[in-house]
Structure 1
């Protein structure tokens, strides 16, 4: 159905104590979903816990190699775009400022469907900060991404309805 994610070897699923996937059929075009993912100014409208996003390379949207800072899961996070295939896939990797030893890699794959798009997101996480959060609530990351997909679907469908 889609290409494999280009995991950095150190963050591959078989090397990561935290690995989860979420997916959802969305009644919105791949282009609309893509436009939301690459424009961090839109993230607070659908991304749980995002309070701000600052691009560090003078870009107005995400591109391959773009570095950014944001707040995710209550943590100030530094990340950079590692994969970038317009309208089909994007991935970023990074770490929380409070624990540079705690790494994460988050990938998105968008596939067109007859009714809109299939959106797949997959993440691996390692390191003491993420492991401690997972011990407190083993489903927290998966559940947060379920909420993220539902909110993204709603914002994307509303955007398609306005455009159509």
Structure 2
């Protein structure tokens, strides 16, 4: 890689790493794992950096890479390498569903794709179209995954489904 490309890469990474860490943390809920996801994403980006000039939106490209790293990690299943020999961290304490750890624990129980959709839509405030592009699926899939994920999340948190204030059949 030419020296100029390295400088461009480093400038890009320094400008975006905090946002990537935030998104990764919102996806997985663990700061160490989030750092691993960002590191893996940035390593892959470095390998592709010479060809990155052909990409229209580098930020969207990198976010897609990050979401793919997260989804790939979730697909690894039972054979994922565990380096710790001690017991896992205790589950978060029960409490108000507004509390971050409780919501994080409930999100972790969702299928990876629903988890990614909810995090990108509501915690990263991305529009349906952009989430569909990041996940390489249709907008309809994003909407249905959002609906299913919210229903499951409400059930996990013990929050009743929202009912309309006025029934359309009353008038």
- Point out the structure with the larger helix share: 2
- Is this a same-fold pair by TM over 0.5? no
TM-score between the two structures when normalised by the length of structure 2:
0.24
Higher relative contact order (CA 8 A, sep 6+): 1
Find the structure with the greater CA-based Rg. 2
Which has the larger strand fraction? 1
